[in-house]
Structure 1
Amino acid sequence: MTLVPVSLVDVASYLPGEPVPTEYFTRFARSERMAKNVMFRAPKGRHHIGREQTAVDMVERAVQPLVRRHGAQLLSRVDVLLTHTQLPDNPVLGAGPEIARRLGIRPTHVYDVHNGGCAAFVHLMALASMILRTTSARTALIAVTQNCAGTVFTQTDIRNLAQAPVPGDGCGVGLLVKGEGAPILDTECRTYPEFAGDMGFSTHGTRKYWEPGEGQVCVSFTESKITKVFARGNRLVPEVALAVCERIGVKGRDIDTLVTNQPNRLFLRNWHDALELPAERHPDTFDTCGNLFAAGIPVTLDTENRAGRLRNGSVVLLAAFAHAGDFAGAAAVRWGAAA
């Protein structure tokens, strides 16, 4: 059966505030042993969301370049709105309806998708493609927001931890349409539920995060789990990437550009080595943005696109894994996005 073509016709992004230097964190005591772990080697810079800034604010800012390039009528054509927010501003309500209100749109389909983690942009691409192919909808806006660096990782009890300097905040959005232009050639999404319990989110005590009391909430790993996560990440991203390559009839080494999530320098090196790609075909925004989690792929895509380094007609492969390895995804696009 021939699938209805769906295209990723544009991407845009937003980074909040001025760059935050690593010196912000080195003022506070850090565990040197943990800081030397490859998972926690700090980038040179990152951005932090402001205390009064929300995920919806970031999406609104990220969408503006799309409006400038495609015209004000773009938003009236959005039938599908899919969002992923790392740290929901309101844990009861999703961001989707508030984003729709802020943008002045009334999509037929609005979904807030909380799983997918660092691979959420690929996950939303796959979901948006499915909706566009199986309904009358023609235009989808997908938005992923990482907003816990300036909130969680600057807390007084957290900012001295080895992992605190690694995350950065940012937002990326993608515009998908039914039809040719910049076709999504294939997607692969895999869930690994056996790894879902290996990343914690706790107050480092008995208090639940919503209960009053002492103890600041943070994502946490034990050292033994860090080793396992590193091994999984090295394996999962090449697996899903090469699965997509095989189906579209392209060798990994022949991909024009590989764009992944940006967790640390060693993952980046290992991933392009596994695909037999030179480093220059695997863009790296880690040192300027830190680990942007779900926003890493669209921010890097937008950076490369605005710099003119993504050639129209080239094959761009997106790949990432999430959390402690409970999800991984990849997508291939015949590039043709606006810039």
Structure 2
Amino acid sequence: MSRYSRITGTGSYLPPRRLTNADLVAQLAATGIESSDEWIVERTGIRARHFAGDGVYSSDLALEAAKSALTAAGITAQDIDLIIVATSTPDMVFPSTACILQAKLGASGGAAFDLQAVCCGFVYALSVADSMIKTGAANKALVIGAEVFSRILDFTDRTTCVLFGDGAGAVVLEASEAPGILASDLHADGKHAGILCVPGHVSGGKILGDPLLKMDGQAVFKLAVGVLEDAARAALAKADLQASDIDWLIPHQANIRIMQSTARKLKLPMDKVVVTVDQHGNTSAASIPLALDTAVRAGQVKPGQTLMLEGVGGGFTWGAVVLKF
């Protein structure tokens, strides 16, 4: 008998502090940086984002999203035997945010680790958890994307600081006799590391290099639109499906223009694309599960539908997952 993995519950969490473009523009103006709501919306599609408060970490956001997903799945934290947290903004150098979250959940005993693939982290993490469940290494997994990107933004660089927000999204993935995760396609190309990175590290109690996000926006855009189409088509081919079989495309919420370009190349109308970037900004590894949960709770995504999840991020990493919800 074949063994598969299926998503049985979704959850998400946004910190209470919401900044509209007008709020952020006013904050930037106080430091002499010019921007406008129109400039941000035209280039990104973003209208608002959430920032975590002082003393709130990725594990705190992950905890709330995880509890919501567990409730939706009808299980408890003690039932979980695998936790994977995709994050580029961990609570500390070590231990992993996943282990910190495990303690907060009271779910000790199972495997727990972080996965770092930046904005494509959730796609990578979901694929890893799927593989572990299929091989019997785990039965019930929490797969979470959680970020506090506001901590690594350069608020003197208007081209990047307006893009990102904080948040968390989670899914419960369980072993099943019926297919759930149908196929995945993952890639990376390290020679592009410099176009999106935080080029700093801790050494001898000091920060060496620059601990703030740097991005070559044009280079990222050009690379993203090509590789996302390729990964989507490769995952569909592995699942023996066509783009027309997709009920919902749930992409990494980086930029509305990248999302529109991907949908156009797959010949999917935008009314089949889940869009939350306007209200959440780019929440990196959290953006796909956050968008998924938003769509589930809004009644858009329904059981039995076919979903395409895809992301691209620093590394450079990219990938796609096709699943039956």
If the length of structure 1 is used for normalisation, what is the TM-score? 0.86
Q: Which residue of 1 aligns with 2:118?
A: 117
State the alpha-carbon separation in 2 of the partners of residues 167 and 302 from structure 1.
Answer: 19
- Does the 8 Å CA contact 2:167/2:283 hold for their aligned counterparts? yes
State the alpha-carbon separation in 1 of the partners of residues 114 and 284 from structure 2.
Answer: 17
- Does the 8 Å CA contact 1:152/1:217 hold for their aligned counterparts? yes
Aligned to 2:113, the other structure's residue is in SS state strand
Residue identity opposite 1:333 in structure 2: L
1:212 Cα deviation after fit = 6.5
Residues 226-283 of structure 1: CA deviation (Å, up to 9, x unaligned)? 3222111000111111111112222213311000001111101101001100000011
1:21 Cα deviation after fit = 1.2
Q: Which residue of 2 aligns with 1:126?
A: 127
State the alpha-carbon separation in 2 of the partners of residues 136 and 220 from structure 1.
Answer: 38
Corresponding pairs, count: 320
Which residues of 2 match residues 220-259 of structure 1 at below 5 A? 220-221=214-215, 225-259=216-250
1:41 Cα deviation after fit = 3.7
Q: 1:63 to 1:195 in 2, by over 3 A?
A: same
Q: Which residue of 1 aligns with 2:324?
A: 334
- Does the 8 Å CA contact 2:12/2:69 hold for their aligned counterparts? no
Q: Which residue of 2 aligns with 1:148?
A: 149
Aligned to 1:47, the other structure's residue is in SS state strand
1:271 aligns with 2:256: no
Q: What's the % identity of the aligned pairs?
A: 22
Aligned to 2:46, the other structure's residue is in SS state coil
Structure 1: state its 5+ residue gaps: none
1:209 Cα deviation after fit = 11
Q: Which residue of 2 aligns with 1:313?
A: 304
Aligned to 2:76, the other structure's residue is in SS state helix
Identify which of 176, 186, 190 aligns with 1:189.
186
If the length of structure 2 is used for normalisation, what is the TM-score? 0.89
Q: 1:217 to 1:229 in 2, by over 3 A?
A: same
1:45 aligns with 2:36: no
Structure 2: state its 5+ residue gaps: none
Residue identity opposite 2:212 in structure 1: C
Residue identity opposite 2:126 in structure 1: M
State the alpha-carbon separation in 1 of the partners of residues 35 and 49 from structure 2.
Answer: 20
1:178 Cα deviation after fit = 1.0
Q: Which residue of 2 aligns with 1:64?
A: 67
Q: Relative to structure 2, which stretch is displaced further, 190-199 or 311-320?
A: 190-199
Q: 1:83 to 1:207 in 2, by over 3 A?
A: closer
1:172 Cα deviation after fit = 0.7
Q: 1:41 to 1:264 in 2, by over 3 A?
A: same
Q: Which residue of 1 aligns with 2:213?
A: 219
Q: Which residue of 1 aligns with 2:175?
A: 178
Residue identity opposite 1:218 in structure 2: L
Aligned to 1:167, the other structure's residue is in SS state coil
Residue identity opposite 1:46 in structure 2: R
State the alpha-carbon separation in 2 of the partners of residues 79 and 39 from structure 1.
Answer: 44
1:210 Cα deviation after fit = 5.8
Residues 107-160 of structure 1: CA deviation (Å, up to 9, x unaligned)? 43112112x2111111111111111122352111111111112x233xxx6255
Which residues of 2 match residues 70-85 of structure 1 at below 5 A? 70-71=73-74, 73-85=75-87
Residue identity opposite 2:134 in structure 1: R
- Does the 8 Å CA contact 2:51/2:165 hold for their aligned counterparts? yes
State the alpha-carbon separation in 2 of the partners of residues 164 and 209 from structure 1.
Answer: 29
State the alpha-carbon separation in 2 of the partners of residues 141 and 91 from structure 1.
Answer: 22
Q: Which residue of 2 aligns with 1:5?
A: 4
- Does the 8 Å CA contact 1:158/1:216 hold for their aligned counterparts? no
Structure holding more helix per residue: 2
1:182 Cα deviation after fit = 6.3
Structure holding more strand per residue: 2
